[in-house]
Amino acid sequence: MSQQAPVILSNSTELTARKKGLLRLILAAMRPHQWVKNLFIFAPLLFGRKLTDLSAIGSSLIAFTVFCCLASGLYIFNDWLDAEEDRAHPEKRHRPISSGLLPVPIALFAAGVLFVAAFWLAAMIGFKFFFIALFYFILTLSYCLLLKRLIVLDTMTIAAGFVARVVGGAIAVSVMPSHWLIVCAFLLALFLAFTKRRQELLTLSGNAAEHREVLNEYSVSYLEQVNNIIIGAAIVCYALYTVAPETIEKFGTDQMIYGTVFVIYGLLRYMALINNPKNGGNPSKMLLQDKPLLMTVAGWAIYNAIVIYHLSFQELWTLLFK
């Protein structure tokens, strides 16, 4: 008995370790750092003047969870499709599926569970939101299967996914999304998508097409020209939105224009950061790792909250910390 006990304990410990390791691999395959992109869902909460509505906040959080589950499930599915190509990438070859550490059947089962959970939660919000969630799912699935191989359409599809987040967030809190807000979100997402393609070309050099077929259609000079156009369009579009008559009438102020400073600084800093190939082209990781960029986003949100809700600094302090 005394000689067998250590063996039983060892097997139990090994099994527990395997389970924990498997859960870590599934979580890694879900790419939780990419959930930062789903913060677009909360834009209608801010601009729809719903920040003090607890019911709206709850619906936004559910909507955020829905898109996190959908995105994570689709990341797993896409990693399974791209496993061979990812092995040619210096970073992506270490992903759980492409590295072979996470068994494909388990990964796809996890993706299925995420999809079921997402659509169940989406149905709780309502039919319109469920439809937007389904649209995002089909759009991203189309990207995984075909659209990611088509020049320009690949980045436009990614940008359309961000628009779906904004529209979904608006439906969740029962506000009408502004056309300006939709266009600004689309341009910002398009800029991030094109900069990512540029970074992939620089990082992978001559092996770029082996990793992503569409990269054979792009060139660094073309992407730099496109980014210059888009960043200018995004800044101008946002500035025009802040001084549009309907915006001033809705919020009762013309002070939102000064928040454009945060937008300009944030975009220009991001461009400066991607000039260093070591930073890669992942906007989610860059936002979380670069403190000035993170502070810029926070500053932009706080400034707009002050202006839109006509808060004094004392009222804002009370709202945040009491």
pLDDT given at position 92 = 74
Q: Considering only CA atoms, which of 101, 97, 55 is closest in space to residue 77?
A: 97
- Taking only the tens of pLDDT, the chain with its 322 residues reads 334 333 343 454 444 445 558 888 888 888 888 888 898 899 888 888 888 888 989 999 999 999 999 999 999 998 888 777 767 666 777 788 888 888 888 999 999 999 999 999 999 999 999 999 999 999 999 998 988 888 999 999 999 999 999 999 999 998 888 888 889 999 999 998 898 888 878 777 666 656 677 778 888 889 889 999 999 999 999 999 999 998 898 888 889 999 999 999 999 988 888 776 666 556 666 767 788 888 998 899 889 888 888 765 455 555 555 5
pTM: 0.81
Q: Considering only CA atoms, which of 277, 273, 275 is closest in space to residue 291?
A: 273
Contacts of 107 (CB under 8 A, 6+ apart): 26, 29, 76, 79, 80, 96, 97
What the chain holds in terms of domains, given with CATH numbers, is 28-177 (1.10.357.140)
Asked if 256 and 242 touch (Cβ cutoff 8 Å), the reply is: yes
CA distance 274 to 286: 9
Which residue, chain included where needed, has tokens 């810029």? 296
Residue 51 phi, psi dihedral angles, 5° rounding: -65, -20
Residue 165 phi, psi dihedral angles, 5° rounding: -65, -45
Task: Give the C-alpha distances (Å, rounded to integers) separating 304 from 2, 30, 253, 256, 316.
Answer: 68, 32, 11, 7, 12
* pLDDT tens, position by position, 160-193: 999 999 999 999 998 888 888 889 999 999 998 8
* pLDDT tens, position by position, 10-46: 454 444 445 558 888 888 888 888 888 898 899 888 8
CA distance 188 to 79: 25
